[in-house]
Amino acid sequence: MRVVTVTFVTKPQKANPRLTFPKRIATLLGITSSRDKHVALVIRRASGKILLADKVLLRSGTEIYGAANIKPKLKALRRGEEIWVEARRPQ
């Protein structure tokens, strides 16, 4: 058996928009190699509206930042707004 998709709810850091990707989620998905730390994400508002559907690189351990396509999406959120993150290991 292997886990192929995980969904979790979180709040992004607001000051410098970035998303912390939990290490235990990376482990469940088998993303443990320091060489290939890509993850496919679908980020949604609680309403279900998709903010982002893309493949991103995990950096500094499991931080998601620096991606030009993520920051504008996270900046659009209200302070403290929760997002739903669906993550899978890209094929």
Architecture of domain 5-88: Beta Barrel (2.40)
Q: Where are the domains of the chain?
A: 5-88
- Cα distance between residue 63 and residue 85, in whole Å: 14
pTM: 0.83
Q: pLDDT of the chain along its 91 residues, tens only?
A: 778 899 999 988 767 777 788 888 888 888 876 677 888 999 999 999 999 898 888 877 677 765 667 788 888 888 889 999 999 987 7
